[in-house]
Amino acid sequence: MASSTAHHPSVAQQAEIESFQDHLSKSTRILALLGAGLSASSGLPTFRGAGGLWRTHDATDLATPEAFSRNPGLVWQFYSYRRHMALKAKPNPAHYALAELARQKDGFLTLSQNVDGLSPRAKHPEDRLKLLHGSLFDVKCFEFFCNYVERNNYTDPIVPALAIPTSEEDPTTTSALAVRELDISDERVYIPELDYEHLPKCPKCKRGLLRPGVVWFGEALPSGVLSDIDDWMKQKGKVDLIMVIGTSAKVYPAAGYVDAARAKGARVAVFNMDPNDVPASGLYEGDWFFQGDAAQILPEILKPVIGELKEMPDAAAEQDDAVTDG
Ligand code: APR
């Protein structure tokens, strides 16, 4: 096991990188488990890092059906903000590198915990991308007896009451530049209290509130996604490799896929900023740990297999507005 930044690797790190590349090129059945760290350099905060608080709330406290029942206005404000930020963000080279690997290796399946839509926007082949936790851009009815679901709803804001408030910096000018969006993740920025009448309603049952189509704590993962992954796991042959990318791998059942893959023979390759964030079962002999920003190290390390990335029409890299985790 060795740490590495792909840019100036030591001899030992270079040997680790080459041993991984050699294994990847020979692998036919490959999994990836993706987490929020993959999108960090696109400017989207992770959950358990410094960006974990939204106003005064732990982001994970707002991600429950109970929180939505108690205060649907607040939960929608949180998700509307996340939809807005995700739409403003751009996929980074790691999203594109994984999409390219999926095109080149038939037996590569990606399991993503991310709901930000960046892998789909990097044209990751849809049938090879399993969204374990749903998507910010799906909406569904919160009523128990209504099964309304709408995919790919990119309307921002989804209802006028959820628009991000703006401020006019300088009241003496009418320039559009003077209008700036306020950062409503900061508790000092006022947001109104919203209730039923302000929030999006179900067009089918006409009664229920719509809710974001993400998997909240205490909810089951989408059954179709789970059965697709089960079918893949049960296919003939061992699993050669699982890449664990930008995730703290602490949230189950998603994190359980690392052990499931290992049980089918997989070696584990972790790509993470934080050397302590290894899967719960630790690293075994023959596993790899590559330390660094996934957006930088993943395309570098995958390069001998996928080649140089050419088409990144919407990439975040080297743009002025690309910021790191925070
Ligand atoms: N490159 C690589 N890794 C990074 C980077 C980066 N630029 N920035 C942060 N990381 C790592 C962190 O070290 C951490 O291990 O990404 C991981 C992010 O962990 P979490 O915030 O816990 O996010 P994630 O693992 O996706 O969370 C899983 O928890 O809250 C729920 O449903 C939510 O899908 C989410 C799930």
Q: Can you tell me the distance from the alpha carbon of 241 to that of 289, in angstroms, rounded to the nearest whole number?
A: 13
* Residue-averaged pLDDT of the chain: 91
| pLDDT confidence of residue 297 | 97
Looking at the chain, the whole-number percentage of residues with pLDDT higher than 70 is 89
Task: Specify the range with the lowest mean pLDDT, choosing from 125-134, 191-200, 241-250, 307-316.
Answer: 307-316
- Every domain of the chain with CATH number 3.30.1600.10 lies at 45-88+137-171+178-214
Query: Any binding-site annotation on 278?
Result: no
Domain 45-88+137-171+178-214 classification at class level:
alpha beta
Query: Any binding-site annotation on 202?
Result: yes
Answer whether residue 123 shows pLDDT above 90: yes
| pLDDT confidence of residue 9 | 75
CA of 302 to the centre of ligand 1 (A): 21
Answer whether residue 225 shows pLDDT above 70: yes
The CATH homologous superfamily to which domain 12-44+91-133+221-313 belongs is: TPP-binding domain (3.40.50.1220)
Where do we find the tokens 């499931």?
Answer: 260
Our CA dihedral for 231, 232, 236, 238, rounded to 10 degrees, sits at -130
Q: Which residue out of 114, 247, 278 has the highest number of ligand 1 atoms within 8 Å of its CB and is therefore the one to mutate?
A: 247
Answer whether residue 325 shows pLDDT above 70: no
CA of 14 to the centre of ligand 1 (A): 26
Query: Any binding-site annotation on 205?
Result: yes
Give ligand 1 pocket residues (Cβ under 6 A): 35-37, 40-41, 46-49, 60, 113, 133, 246-248, 250-251, 272-274, 277, 293-294, 325
- Residues 51-69 have a mean pLDDT of 90
Q: How confident is the model at residue 59 (pLDDT cuts 50, 70, 90)?
A: confident
CA of 272 to the centre of ligand 1 (A): 9
- Residues 46-69 have a mean pLDDT of 87
Which bin fits 279, alpha (ψ -120 to 50), beta or left (φ > 0)?
Answer: beta
Q: What is the per-residue pLDDT across 299-311, written as a single tens digit (0 to 9) for each? A: 999 999 999 998 7
| pLDDT confidence of residue 167 | 85
Asked if 39 contacts 315 with a C-beta cutoff of 8 angstroms, the reply is no
Exposure string for 50-82, b = 16+ CB within 10 A, e = fewer: ebeebbebebeebbeeebbeebbbbbbbbbbbb
Q: What is the per-residue pLDDT across 257-282, written as a single tens digit (0 to 9) for each? A: 999 999 999 999 999 999 999 999 99
Query: Any binding-site annotation on 146?
Result: yes
Q: Is 133 a catalytic residue?
A: yes
Answer whether residue 61 shows pLDDT above 60: yes
CA of 179 to the centre of ligand 1 (A): 32
Q: For 1, what's the count of Cα atoms within 13 Å in the CB-facing half-sphere?
A: 15
Asked if 16 contacts 2 with a C-beta cutoff of 8 angstroms, the reply is yes
